[in-house]
Structure 1
Amino acid sequence: MTTTGTGRPAAEGLRERKKRAMRRQLSDTAARLFLERGFDAVRVADVGEACGVSEKTVFNYFPSKEALLLDRLEATADALRTHLPNPALTPVSAMLTILDDELDGLTTALAADGDRALARYRKFGDLIRTTPSLRAYQSDIADRFVDIAAEALATRTALRPDDPEPQIAAATLLGLWRVQFRALRTHVRPGHPLPDAIDAVRREVRRAARLAEAGLAAFPAPADHD
């Protein structure tokens, strides 16, 4: 158990773990209910009731109903902030690291339950595609990713996030994220061996990455902070 300097348990760590557990429970429950009944047929209050908490508590964790279903996208935002500023990697290599990590996590999750998990994954994608508010939310998140990426890339240079170079580089890198998302939709499906599908996704992403790498070869070198 982690302790403070006085030897007392670090209660903050326990609280954070409980918050993460509740957030995951709310999100998983929402996904299950949305897939069973349809997004519009489920209220935020229904999700709270299923988890034994109030509607207000749900909104304390998630700003909107859409965020309940697409909360995993926050992990992508964190990864952009972590990897893109790394001067040891080209911007494209950093983005590929992020995408590979996401793909590895998805592969592990889908492999655990075979075709049943693949069918659920497809249904999840169908729900997003057929629900206008979810598509709009996903689009807004993608736009926010570009801003986050531009800020992260600007830290590598003497440029500002709103300068043309970080802006176009960020948009290009997030294009790779979109390529992976669409390739997953194309290749990951029941009856198609998962390893073959993931290999196909990686190949498509790397084809796009080669083009992006050539285009971003002139991106400013890391700034000298000494």
Structure 2
Amino acid sequence: MVAETLRDRRKRELRRQLSDTATRMFLERGFDAVRVADVARACGVTEKTVFNHFGSKEALLADRWDTQLDALRARLADAAPLDAALEVLGEELDFLVASARRHGWDEVRRFGELVRSTPALVAHHREARDRLTEAVAEHLAARTGVPEADPVPHITAAAVAGLWTVFALSLQRHQAKGATRMAREVRADLARAADALRRGL
């Protein structure tokens, strides 16, 4: 494993500062009421610097999608798509539980409510799920040697990416139960959904 350089560590720390600051401001004022320039000023950097780290205002809040997509691509090299997806979602669930312990479960719930109630963030999440679907379809087409336009990799990828929808709905359904019990229920829902896909696929 390559050791992290000082420059890389500073970039990672700044990225986290920008995301944490933006999240706090969005939760306090609402997503539409906060400009990227406001986040930049609060962090003592330029607006251009923010966009060097995040491709859009939405990505400041929903920055976990790139992490999940990178993790999924890495796992697809060695694991079946369903197993790869379950591993990535399991790690995302662990991240949410850790965040709840760090910031309080109420803040995590407010975060989810902000995403669901903001059209731009809903659209951002849909676009991110589309990218996940495309990544799985490309992998399956390459692995099986079929053309990229073949319908089988695409319908299979859409089914696998559907686990992210199950994940989001399960989080919402069980969020009142507290982080530990919620995590157990979400894992159970994901396992049931994956079993259904294994039988169908």
TM-score, normalised relative to structure 2: 0.92
- Cα distance in 2, alignment partners of residues 68 and 193 from structure 1: 26
Partner of 1:151: 138
User: What's the secondary structure of 2:199's corresponding residue?
Assistant: helix
SS at match of 1:123: helix
Of 85, 88, 93, the residue aligned with 1:103 is 93
Name the amino acid aligned to 2:132. F
Larger Rg: 1
Q: For residue 170 of structure 1, what is the aligned residue in structure 2?
A: 157
Letter in 2 for 1:201: V
Kindly, what percent of the aligned residue pairs are identical? 49
Count of residues paired in the alignment:
200
Runs of 4+ in structure 1 displaced over 6 angstroms? Answer: none
What TM-score results when the alignment is normalised by the length of structure 1? 0.82
How far the C-alpha of 1:85 sits from its partner, in A, is 2.7
Please point out which of 159, 173, 179 is paired with 1:194: 179
Q: Which has the higher helix share?
A: 2
Q: Deviations over 1:87-133 (max 9, x none)?
A: xx3322222111112112222222345xxx21111111111111111
CA contact (8 A) 1:150 1:162 kept: no
Instruction: Kindly report the root-mean-square deviation, in angstroms, between the aligned alpha carbons of the 2 structures.
Output: 1.8
Match of 2:192 among 194, 198, 207: 207
Quick one: distance in 1 between partners of 2:179 and 2:10?
33
Q: Does 1:52 align with 2:44?
A: yes
Farther off after superposition, 22-31 or 101-110: 101-110
Amino acid at match of 2:47: E
Give the alignment of 1:1-226 within 5 angstroms. Answer: 13-86=5-78, 89-113=79-103, 117-189=104-176, 192-216=177-201
Distance in 1 between residues matched to 2:142 and 2:101, nearest whole Å: 38
Tell me, in whole angstroms, the C-alpha distance in 2 between the residues paired with 1:52 and 1:158: 50
Alpha-carbon deviations, 1:19-58, whole Å to 9, x = none?
1111111111000000011111111110000000011111
